[in-house]
Amino acid sequence: MSGVGQSGSSTAQEARPTPDTVTGLRDSVRHLARQTTKGTRPHTVTKCSSATKKVRHTSSSGTGSKKKTRTWSTTEQYRKCSKVRSGTETYTRIVRAERWCVSLDDVGGNTAKDDVWYQVTRAAYDEARIADEHARVEFTPTGSGC
């Protein structure tokens, strides 16, 4: 548990911008698998039905005092569509994304910076995993902390 406390204090130091690549002595590696759970959400479908509406028409003829306006109405049909709920559907919800992490000692040659965790790509994780304990490694982190 003491490593967790040290990691938290050095994470505060990592808040400022870091250079693109990080070098240090390999301490340990950690793979956090993706966690998922089943979730449910409303299932919606589009339902359409025929509907009618009354449309008013006007027509004018003539000019001045001889102008006549004729008005009539017709009924037009159209499709009325709306989304309605039709039960529920299940889906896979991601609780935690998959992460690969590497812990370094002597980050940037500073012996005071020990047990600093970095999130890395899968390729960088694989390289660090096969490297010997306390071997010098260099990578570009994708995030800090783990």
Tens of pLDDT, residue by residue over 125-137, are 999 989 888 888 8
Query: Is it the case that residue 17 has pLDDT exceeding 60?
Result: no
Of residues 115, 113, 119, the one with CA closest to residue 143: 119
What local confidence, expressed as pLDDT, does residue 89 receive?
94
The pLDDT confidence band at residue 109, using thresholds 50, 70 and 90, is confident
Query: Would you say residue 77 has pLDDT above 50?
Result: yes
Q: Half-sphere exposure of residue 145, counting CA atoms within 13 Å on the CB side?
A: 10
Better pLDDT: 2 or 58? 58
Percentage, residues of the chain above pLDDT 90:
49
In the predicted model, is pLDDT for residue 100 greater than 50?
yes
**Entry pTM:** 0.53
Nearest C-alpha neighbor of 49 from the set 18, 82, 21, 73:
82
pLDDT at residue 98 tops 50: yes
pLDDT number for residue 19? 57
Predicted local confidence at residue 25, as pLDDT: 87
Can you say how many angstroms the Cα of residue 88 is from the centroid of all Cα atoms in its chain?
A: 23
Whole-angstrom distance, CA of residue 105 vs CA of residue 111: 7
Over pLDDT 70: what percentage of the chain?
Answer: 87
pLDDT at 56: 94
Q: What gap in Å lies between CA 104 and CA 138, rounded to an integer? A: 10
- Classify 10 as helix, strand or coil: helix
State the Cα–Cα distance between residues 23 and 118, nearest whole angstrom. 11
Residue 22's pLDDT is: 86
